[in-house]
C-alpha cells in the first residue's frame, strides 16, 4: 500500500489554523516582553566609593571649621581635647548588631556598630538628663539645627529661660543653641523618652558630666553621626561596657 498519500484537506486546514494560532500567540507574548531598543541596555550602577579610613582623613580635616546650612561652625582646638574622645574606628566592644548606636554613660563614649567587628567611637559629654534614662529604643526622627525648648523644671531653676519656653516658641537655631547642629530624638514603644543625642557648641564638655543636656557631641561629630544613621535606628543606652 502506498504511503505517500496527499495530505488530508481537513488535517491541512487544522495544521494551518494551528500554525496561525501559534503565530498569534507568539506575537502577543512578544508584545508583553519586548523592550524598546533604546531601553534594552541598562548601564550598571556606579560602584559606591569606599570611605577613606579615618587615619587618612586626619583629625585636622575632621574637626576643621565648616559651613553647614548657612552656619559657620568653628574648628575644634584639638590640643585642648583629650585625644581618646576624638572620633576613631575601634574594635567593637558592644556585641550589638551593625547599625546599632550604643551610648556607654560610664565611659562617655557613643558607638556606631559597623560590620566586621568594628565600631565608630565618638566622645560625648553627659548632662544630668543623660543619666536619667537607660534602655533600648529607636532614633525616631532627626533634625538639622533644631529649636531648643528648656523643660519646665529647668525654667523653674532658671527663670530667665522662660523666653525660650514651648509657649514662646523655643530658642532659634544657631551656634549658641544648646542642641547644636543636629538632634536625634529617642522614642521607646512609640513614646518620647525626652532623651536626645545632640550637638553642642561647648566642645570642652566632651568627656565630662555637666549640669544640663542629655548626650552631647561636638558639632562636627554629631553631623557625621546624623549622616550615617537613618530613622528608626536602634539605640542602646547603658553603663559599664568593657573596652579592650
Tell me the pLDDT tens digit for each residue of 154-171: 889 889 989 999 999 999
Provide the pLDDT confidence category of residue 3 given band limits of 50, 70 and 90.
Answer: very low
pTM over 0.85: no
Specify the higher pLDDT residue, 241 or 96: 96
Residue with grid cell 537655631, as numbered in its chain: 173
Query: Per residue in 133-156, pLDDT tens?
Result: 899 999 999 999 999 888 788 889
Mean pLDDT of 71-97: 96
Provide the pLDDT confidence category of residue 2 given band limits of 50, 70 and 90.
Answer: very low
Amino acid at each position: 500500500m502506498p504511503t505517500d498519500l496527499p495530505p488530508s484537506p481537513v488535517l491541512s486546514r487544522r495544521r494551518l489554523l494551528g500554525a496561525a494560532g501559534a503565530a498569534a500567540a507568539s506575537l502577543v507574548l512578544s508584545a508583553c516582553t519586548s523592550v524598546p531598543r533604546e531601553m534594552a541596555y541598562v548601564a550598571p550602577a556606579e560602584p559606591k566609593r569606599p570611605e577613606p579610613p579615618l587615619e587618612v582623613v586626619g583629625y585636622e580635616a575632621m574637626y576643621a571649621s565648616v559651613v553647614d546650612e548657612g552656619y559657620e561652625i568653628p574648628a575644634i582646638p584639638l590640643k585642648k581635647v583629650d585625644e581618646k574622645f576624638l572620633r576613631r574606628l575601634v574594635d567593637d566592644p558592644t556585641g550589638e548588631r551593625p547599625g546599632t548606636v550604643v551610648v556607654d554613660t560610664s565611659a562617655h563614649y557613643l558607638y556606631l556598630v559597623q560590620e566586621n567587628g568594628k565600631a565608630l567611637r565618638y566622645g560625648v559629654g553627659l548632662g544630668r538628663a543623660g543619666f536619667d534614662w537607660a534602655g533600648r529604643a529607636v532614633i525616631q526622627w532627626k533634625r538639622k539645627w533644631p529649636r531648643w525648648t528648656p523643660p519646665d523644671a529647668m525654667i523653674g531653676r532658671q527663670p530667665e529661660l522662660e523666653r525660650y519656653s514651648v509657649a514662646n516658641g523655643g530658642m532659634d537655631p544657631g551656634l549658641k543653641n544648646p542642641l547644636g547642629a543636629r538632634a536625634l530624638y529617642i522614642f521607646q514603644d512609640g513614646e518620647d523618652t525626652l532623651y536626645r543625642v545632640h550637638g553642642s557648641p561647648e566642645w570642652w564638655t566632651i568627656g565630662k558630666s555637666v549640669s544640663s543636656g542629655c548626650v552631647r557631641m561636638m558639632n562636627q561629630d554629631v553631623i557625621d553621626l546624623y549622616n550615617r544613621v537613618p530613622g528608626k535606628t536602634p539605640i542602646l543606652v547603658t553603663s559599664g561596657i568593657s573596652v579592650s
